[in-house]
Structure 1
Amino acid sequence: MDKAIFLDRDGVINEVLTDRVTFVNTPEDFHLLPGTGEAVQLLNAAGYKVFVVTNQGGVGLGFMAEEALREVHMKMQEVLRKENALIDDIAYCPHKPYANCACRKPKPQMILDLAEKHQVNLKESYMVGDREPDILAGRDAGVRTILVGNGDSGGVVADFVFPDLLAAAKWIAS
């Protein structure tokens, strides 16, 4: 079985709620955070599969179509490929917030589905996020959790805390 890193998208991989971008609803709104390409490349080289697990309630709320979301993800993968960094797969929840679906973080279903699909050993894996729902989803999936940035953990304690994805990736890869 493989080991994996499950990454939240907004606030971990790309900018959100910054001076430049509020929400990522089009490919033009997608701006990679500094160090993200190097971080993913380090994780790839360390033998981890790298997955994105992201809540995208804007689809359910009608702020963007699923086709636009696919275009954003294609741009993300393209930008990372230029830095020799590979995302192995992407899972997203398109449902409205508070829809009580099985896939929306803090529920762990996206992580569990990717783990089953790709034969991942959850005990050897990590969930990296910047908010409480990411940490709860990781914990409930049985992976180690990493909180990055100045995110709001809502008082939930992650297993590890780092300033950004690159710092976390350097630690994981060492």
Structure 2
Amino acid sequence: MKYTSLFLDRDGVINRHRPADYVKTIEEFEFLPGSLEALRLLSPLFKHIFIVTNQRGVGKGVMTVRTLEQIHAYMLDEIIRHQGRIDHIYVCTDIETESFNRKPQPGMARQALQDYPDISFPRSMMVGDSVSDLLFARNTGMRAVFIDAGIEKKEIKPSLYDARFPDLYTFAEKYIKDPDV
């Protein structure tokens, strides 16, 4: 099957996840090895590439929306500089776990569909490193790709994902060879 839209989590997929903390400044935003190259490789293969990210730190007042926008501007500039692309970033700053817009709920996917009506969720992939990312894929009918980054996550059962890779770059390499990874 040809997948036309790629949904990506941010922390733990594109940049280093900060356990029990948030990326609060540009200085704390650290691209994972190979993620910029992966985005360059993936960019011509998908019609749409989105980031869908829960950013509870804004809702908690740990950082401001403006700071988050500055971090994202820096991230996008670097991705473009490395010949990759992100078409849109969808963010949920809600602190309530039950929020419709907070992963694993489908709110950010629905926002993307409003902005890009040609999206087909069965022809979309979600790449993430957490249970909420994988459930987001399941809740929207997308293919679920788990980035495990070598971290043993016992709560992530194989039934939650369709494919598993150690990082975004390895996923990109395999996807180029076989889009049905």
**How high is the TM-score relative to the length of structure 1?**
0.90
How far apart are the structure 2 equivalents of 1:31 and 1:39? 15
Q: 1:158 aligns with which of 157, 161, 165?
A: 161
How far apart are the structure 2 equivalents of 1:41 and 1:166? 10
- Tell me the residue number matched to 1:115: 113
Runs of 4+ deviating beyond 6 Å: none
CA contact 2:134–2:146 (8 Å) conserved in 1? yes
How far apart are the structure 1 equivalents of 2:115 and 2:154? 29
CA contact 1:135–1:153 (8 Å) conserved in 2? no
How far apart are the structure 1 equivalents of 2:152 and 2:95? 22
In structure 2, what residue type is equivalent to 1:91? Y
Alpha-carbon offset, residue 37 of structure 1: 1.1
CA contact 1:132–1:154 (8 Å) conserved in 2? yes
Q: 1:167 aligns with which of 165, 170, 176?
A: 170
How far apart are the structure 2 equivalents of 1:153 and 1:110? 26
SS in 1 for 2:23: coil
How far apart are the structure 1 equivalents of 2:164 and 2:43? 21
Alpha-carbon offset, residue 27 of structure 1: 1.3
Q: 1:102 to 1:153 in 2, by over 3 A?
A: farther
How far apart are the structure 1 equivalents of 2:74 and 2:154? 28
CA contact 1:51–1:88 (8 Å) conserved in 2? yes
- Tell me the residue number matched to 1:103: 101
Alpha-carbon offset, residue 155 of structure 1: 3.4
Structure 2 runs not aligned, ≥5 long: none
- Tell me the residue number matched to 2:33: 34
Structure 1 runs not aligned, ≥5 long: none
CA contact 2:130–2:156 (8 Å) conserved in 1? no
Q: 1:151 to 1:92 in 2, by over 3 A?
A: farther
Alpha-carbon offset, residue 75 of structure 1: 0.6
Q: Deviations over 1:84-128 (max 9, x none)?
A: 111110001011143x21100111211222133212121111000
SS in 2 for 1:113: helix
- Tell me the residue number matched to 1:66: 65
How far apart are the structure 2 equivalents of 1:151 and 1:68? 32
Q: 1:151 to 1:51 in 2, by over 3 A?
A: farther
Please report the RMSD computed on the Cα atoms of aligned residues, expressed in angstroms.
1.9
In structure 1, what residue type is equivalent to 2:113? A
- Tell me the residue number matched to 1:12: 13
**How high is the TM-score relative to the length of structure 2?**
0.87
How far apart are the structure 2 equivalents of 1:75 and 1:151? 30
Aligned residues: 170
Q: 1:56 to 1:151 in 2, by over 3 A?
A: farther
